[in-house]
Amino acid sequence: MKSHVIVTGAAGILGRAVSQCLRDAGYGVTGIDRAPADDGASAYLGGVDLTDGDATRDAVRQAIADRGPLHALVNVAGTFRWETMADGDAATWSTLFDINLRTAVNAVRAALPALREGGGAVVSIGAASAIKAGAGMGAYAASKAGIAKLTEALAEEEKDHGVRVNAVLPSIIDTPANRADMPDADFSRWVAPSAVASVIAFLLSDGASAVTGACLPVTGRC
């Protein structure tokens, strides 16, 4: 095994693509998600609510006990809501901050001691809308801007501990959910999950050893 990577949100569309890409590159992957199902091809801890700090810490401990020292963390868990300020619900802001940001904060806090031992790396999934938000994207973009600022601050904090910290900022990923929501769009302009995954694999690799604190747009032709 090249090294051990935890992928959160591993049961989702992008999480599955990232797990597969990293396994193909020779990494040992532990997936963590609240979904109970296992994709069968890698170690997987299901039923974990990553908004719960204690549950996240237990899952990361379990992953290390099962699969050995940890070298990297990929924060994929997240979600999306489109709603305007006029018609939306204030609770959506809490929901998106919990699922898009708190999950990553909890995973980083749980994994950091192990990552420091292994000269590790963190990659988180932000969003292009964190740079320029469109209508209806306020809560989502604000939560993903949180990922960008977590990335920048943590990268500075960890420079002397040997942990690199980066983020990718996709626009629209070509997923079944997006195809169903936007049936008339030109899907060829979107980014394939495998294409996002290969950028993540690069950011984890030795080829990116000089890269930390980057928030990299991965936007295809959107």
Ligand X SMILES: NC(=O)c1ccc[n+]([C@@H]2O[C@H](COP(=O)([O-])OP(=O)(O)OC[C@H]3O[C@@H](n4cnc5c(N)ncnc54)[C@H](OP(=O)(O)O)[C@@H]3O)[C@@H](O)[C@H]2O)c1
Q: Interface residues with ligand X (CB under 6 A)? A: 9, 11-15, 33-35, 48-51, 76-80, 99-100, 103, 125, 127, 170, 172-173, 175, 178
Query: 50: closest CA among 12, 99, 85, 83?
Result: 99
What are phi and psi for residue 206, nearest 5 degrees? -60, -25
Nearer to ligand X, 49 or 117 (CB): 49
Helices (H), 77-137: 91-96, 103-118
Give least dist CB 63 to ligand X, A: 14
CA atoms within 13 A on the CB side of 145: 12
Give least dist CB 121 to ligand X, A: 18
Give least dist CB 159 to ligand X, A: 25
Total Cβ atoms within 10 A of residue 88? 15
Q: How far out from the chain centre does Cα 133 lie?
A: 19
Nearer to ligand X, 13 or 148 (CB): 13
Nearer to ligand X, 11 or 121 (CB): 11
DSSP 128: G
Q: Please, are residues 163 and 204 in contact by the beta-carbon 8 Å criterion?
A: no
Q: By beta-carbon distance, which residue lies closest to ligand X?
A: 12
Give least dist CB 137 to ligand X, A: 11
Nearer to ligand X, 82 or 202 (CB): 82
Nearer to ligand X, 101 or 160 (CB): 101
Question: What pairs with residue 8 in β-bridges?
Answer: 32
Give least dist CB 179 to ligand X, A: 10
